[in-house]
Amino acid sequence: MKTLGKLQRPCRSHQLVVLAFCALLCSTGCNAQVYSGLGKYDPCTTPALATLYQGFYVGAAFWPGHAPEEWGPYYNSTSGQFGLNPCNFTVPTGGNESDRQLLANAGVVFASYELKVDTMTSMRFSATDISQLYNLSTTNPVNQTALPNPGVVSMVVFRAGFRSEARVIISNETVASGGTGFVNTLAFAVTFANGVLSAFTWDNVGCNQCGGTLGANCLQTNPEWSQPQQSCALPLTDCTVNQNCTLNVITGYTGSDQHGNTFTTATMIDQVNKYSAATLYNGLAAGLSNVLAGSGQQQLGGSTPVQQNTAGTVA
């Protein structure tokens, strides 16, 4: 299993076996931190009841050389089976390894991030990060075996027993994703019910900005899944040649905290996600603040870092 050390701003490159992540958690650079996924920062621990503006840890897992179908759906209502979950450490009856062991042995890269409840933030992965993931998509770095979907990288976000549906973030294989290219922006909502985590839900804006579902740059996942993907992608050469393939994963919140406070940022991520797609394909230069003007959320991220040394402030 690969884990990440804590990064302090300004972001510096830390070597991680074969991959270095240099991640910013808010576009303004305000409270950008990345943790090792161990101890209290482990996204596989059961989160405390959420409170408005407190810290919240979420994991991201990237699988080079594997299409989203390899993860399986989060839950298959027909079979009653769950898909692979990075936080499942239980070896099934008659099996040899847990989901976590399987994923780690298959070359999955894990990371843990600190967000802030009901503050819209963006997990940002640099062009170097994405390029290195792409370079890992042909051969398993653990055992040097060929991978089933070379040129494809998929990902999920997770916390404890909850996992998102899988998304493809880069692909040069039309069989695996319909179109080819790399995704610049994804967005998802974290749902709490009275402070209890209950779901991760992707915001799907479709491919109208890049020629529709039949377009060469529309990346898609299984339409029978509960949250199928249709994402506009930029040309692979922008990533492989020009090193211009940053990925931003925008996060909002819906539901309520343990005190009954209603979250509002989930209603904004669709606007931001659609604006991001339009910006990419129409060549606009205006910032995201134009979309958020008048909404009460004037920037991505908050201005006050989460206090990690105060008991009860981080879930």
Q: What is the largest CA-CA distance in the chain?
A: 57
| Residue 298 counted as domain residue | no
pLDDT value at position 53?
A: 94
| Residue 308 counted as domain residue | no
| Residue 303 counted as domain residue | no
Q: Any residues with CB less than 8 A from the CB of 204 and at least 6 apart, and which?
A: 227, 228, 229, 230, 231
Q: If the chain, 315 residues long, is cut into consecutive pieces of 10 residues, what is the mean pLDDT of each piece? A: 29 26 30 42 90 93 94 86 92 91 91 89 87 92 89 95 94 91 92 97 88 91 81 87 83 96 89 59 38 33 28 46
| Residue 311 counted as domain residue | no
Q: Considering its fold, how many domains does the chain have in total?
A: 1
pLDDT value at position 68?
A: 93
| Residue 30 counted as domain residue | no
Place of tokens 């959420």: 50
| Residue 103 counted as domain residue | yes
| Residue 204 counted as domain residue | yes
Total-model pTM: 0.78
| Residue 29 counted as domain residue | no
Full domain range(s) for residue 171: 35-282
